Each structure stands twice: as structure tokens, then as C-alpha cells.
């Protein structure tokens, strides 16, 4: 393959091979020279690609900073209150902004500026934050910490945390309606926000999760159903909203499939990391296994779970091939999300 046509990862891999071969000192002079030249070309190519990547990252950072300011501005609108402080505390508390990033990359694929997606991405992040605040409450998961900091009801109090969640959920719809698009698109956005996060979406997932708490032997199907609703629905929402904002309703079905599989894969990776991450540190599996928690990995085995991840990957790639936009940026975001090691 000509050096120019190689992808960055392939070029880096080849460079690594060349360095190893050259270090072995077992080559004829002519072969060593030819490899050296190939290495020089590849390293120039990688440097060029890295520069391009840096520029892209700078642009993304700019969007990120601007979006953070947008979130802060929207959450503090109108009169101050203790509830509003609590809303802002949780909204600006170090979330990874996975869902906004998904929305922005879909828009980029359609050639639309990320700013067009700010109101909708803000609305989704508000709904995501409300779900985390309520999930941490004593009546639910009873977590004192969220993202390593006191959870909302610990930083404020339980009643304020309930109101902060309610405030974020309801504000989300007001903010989404500020999207610059047609009335038909706005109706579709509001319907999607409600559908994916509501009682037939994420809330149903939380309901199933609560119901299954005392089930000591949940089936794989049940675990996947919980993930499907609790995780996948809110990861699908930004992809679907991206299509709606781009007025590409024909792509919705494919993005819906991608989002649903993405959530299952995201959770499966989490379960795998829970085992392998611990293994790396102490040489044996801990956490979920030691807590006797049944997970997809304990039901399928590590290899079975990895095979499942590979088949999810395959489905996502296939569906990405059907959508009408450029999926380069979205593919990178998905790779980063799914290949995480933390």
C-alpha cells in the first residue's frame, strides 16, 4: 500500500515495525536503506496528519468552551434561586458531554455548524443531569458521590435535589424549542426528547432496574433490556435529534439502530472493564464478581462478552454505511467512546 493511502493507525503500526526491524541489525544494507526511506515518508505523513488533527481538536475545544458557556447561561437564566444553584452545580460538574458530542458530530456529518445544535444538546444534557441527580437520591441508588464530588442532595439537600432534577427536566423542553428550525422540526424534537427520556424510554429502564434489584439470577435478556432502556435510549436521542435538525428524517431509523446498539456495547464494555481493569491491578477479577453481581460478563464469560462487543461493532459499522451523511467524525467519537480503558 502506498504510504500516502495508509490510515494514521496503520502508518504508526508500520513505523513501529520498521523501527523494530532496523533495531535488530540483521538487515542487508540495501534493505535497511529502503526501510529507512519508507520510515521517513511515513513519519512525514503522520506528522502532517497529526497537524490536521491538532487543528481539528483546536476547533472542537473552541466549540466545547462555547457550549459550556451556553449551558451555564441557559441554566442561570432569570431570577436566582437555591434550586437553580443546585441545577447549575450538577450540570457543570465535570460530565463528559458524550451526548452533546454525538449530536455535534452528526451535524458535522451533514455539514451543519455545531452551534445549530446548542439548544438541543443543552436540553439533552439537562435531561441526562436530572436523571443522575434523581438516580443518586436515597430513594434510588443512594450515592453520596457523583463524578468524585458530593452528589446534588449531599451538596444541597434532598428536597432541593428533587426540585433541581424537576427544574432541569422541564427547562430542557423550553431550551430545545429555541432551536433554529421549522415548527415541524421543533415538534419532532420535543416528541423525541419526551419519548427517549420518558416512561417508554429511560424511565422505563430505571423502573425495570428497580424491579430487578432482588432478582439474584437475572437473565442476559433482562440485563440487556435494562441497558436498552436505561442507557441506549438517551444515547440514541442526540443521534435522532441530529437527523431532525438536519431535516434528514430518512436517516432516523439507521441512527436509531446505531444508538440502541451503542448503549448495549457501552454497558458491555463497562462490565468487561470491571473485570479486566481489576485484573490488571491485582491480578484477579474483583468488583462485580466479588460482589456476586450478575453481569453480561459473568453470564457470557469474558470471551463471549468480547465476541458480543465485536458483533455490536459490526452492526454499528453496517448501519453507518446506510446513512446519507459523512460519518468520519461520528465514527471517531464512537471509537473513542467504545474503546475507552477507564
Positions touching ligand GRG (CB under 6 A) are: 95-96, 98, 131-132, 134-135, 140, 147, 202-203, 206, 230-231
Q: d(Cα 120, Cα 106) in Å, to the nearest integer?
A: 13
Output the smallest distance, CB 83 to ligand GRG, in A: 17
Question: Are residues 295 and 274 in contact, defined by beta-carbon separation less than 8 angstroms?
Answer: yes
Output the smallest distance, CB 138 to ligand GRG, in A: 13
Classify 138 as helix, strand or coil.
coil
- Comparison of 131 and 179: residue with beta carbon closer to ligand GRG: 131
- Determine the number of helices (DSSP H) and then strands (DSSP E) in the chain: 14, 2
**Beta 145-146 vs 149-150: how paired, if at all?**
antiparallel
- Comparison of 131 and 298: residue with beta carbon closer to ligand GRG: 131
Q: d(Cα 173, Cα 44) in Å, to the nearest integer?
A: 49
| DSSP conformation class of 150 | E
- Comparison of 199 and 310: residue with beta carbon closer to ligand GRG: 199
| DSSP conformation class of 247 | T
Output the smallest distance, CB 205 to ligand GRG, in A: 6
Cell numbers at 34, concatenated: 529502503
Output the smallest distance, CB 324 to ligand GRG, in A: 27
- Comparison of 93 and 179: residue with beta carbon closer to ligand GRG: 93
Q: Report which residue's Cβ sits closest to ligand GRG.
A: 95
Q: d(Cα 285, Cα 342) in Å, to the nearest integer?
A: 16
Output the smallest distance, CB 33 to ligand GRG, in A: 50
Output the smallest distance, CB 132 to ligand GRG, in A: 6
- Comparison of 98 and 308: residue with beta carbon closer to ligand GRG: 98
- Comparison of 3 and 121: residue with beta carbon closer to ligand GRG: 121
From residue 187, give the alpha-carbon distance in Å to each of 72, 178, 192, 280, 319. Answer: 25, 12, 9, 49, 26
C-alpha angle 237/239/243, rounded to 5°? 110
| DSSP conformation class of 250 | G
Amino acid at each position: 500500500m502506498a504510504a500516502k493511502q495508509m490510515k494514521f493507525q496503520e502508518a504508526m503500526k508500520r513505523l513501529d515495525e520498521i523501527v523494530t526491524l532496523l533495531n535488530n541489525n540483521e538487515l542487508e544494507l540495501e534493505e535497511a536503506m529502503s526501510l529507512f526511506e519508507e520510515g521517513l515518508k511515513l513519519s512525514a505523513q503522520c506528522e502532517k496528519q497529526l497537524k490536521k488533527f491538532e487543528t481539528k481538536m483546536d476547533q472542537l475545544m473552541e466549540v466545547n468552551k462555547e457550549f459550556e458557556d451556553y449551558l451555564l447561561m441557559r441554566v442561570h437564566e432569570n431570577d436566582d434561586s437555591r434550586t437553580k444553584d443546585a441545577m447549575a452545580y450538577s450540570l457543570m460538574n465535570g460530565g463528559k458531554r458524550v451526548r452533546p458530542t454525538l449530536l455535534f458530530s452528526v451535524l458535522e456529518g451533514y455539514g451543519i455548524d455545531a452551534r445549530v445544535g446548542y439548544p438541543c444538546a443543552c436540553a439533552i444534557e439537562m435531561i441526562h443531569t436530572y436523571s443522575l441527580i434523581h438516580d443518586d437520591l436515597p430513594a434510588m441508588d443512594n450515592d453520596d458521590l457523583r463524578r468524585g464530588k458530593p452528589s446534588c442532595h449531599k451538596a444541597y439537600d434532598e428536597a432541593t435535589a428533587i426540585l433541581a432534577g424537576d427544574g432541569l427536566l422541564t427547562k430542557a423542553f423550553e431550551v430545545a424549542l429555541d432551536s433554529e428550525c421549522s415548527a415541524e422540526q421543533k415538534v419532532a424534537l420535543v416528541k423525541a426528547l419526551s419519548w427517549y427520556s420518558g416512561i417508554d424510554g429511560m424511565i422505563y429502564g430505571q423502573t425495570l432496574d428497580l424491579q430487578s434489584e432482588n432478582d439474584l439470577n437475572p437473565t442476559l435478556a433482562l440485563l440487556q433490556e435494562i441497558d436498552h432502556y436505561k442507557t441506549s435510549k438517551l444515547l440514541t436521542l442526540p443521534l435522532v435529534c441530529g437527523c431532525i435538525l438536519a431535516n434528514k428524517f430518512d436517516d432516523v431509523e439507521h441512527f436509531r439502530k446505531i444508538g440502541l446498539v451503542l448503549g448495549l456495547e457501552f454497558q458491555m464494555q463497562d462490565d468487561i472493564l470491571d473485570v479486566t481493569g481489576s485484573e490488571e491491578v491485582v491480578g484477579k477479577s474483583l468488583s462485580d464478581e466479588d460482589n456476586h453481581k450478575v453481569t453480561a460478563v459473568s453470564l457470557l464469560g469474558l470471551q463471549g462478552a468480547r465476541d458480543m462487543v465485536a458483533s455490536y461493532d459490526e452492526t454499528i459499522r453496517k448501519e453507518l454505511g446506510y446513512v446519507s451523511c459523512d460519518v468520519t467524525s461520528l465514527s471517531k467519537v464512537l471509537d473513542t467512546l467504545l474503546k475507552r480503558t477507564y
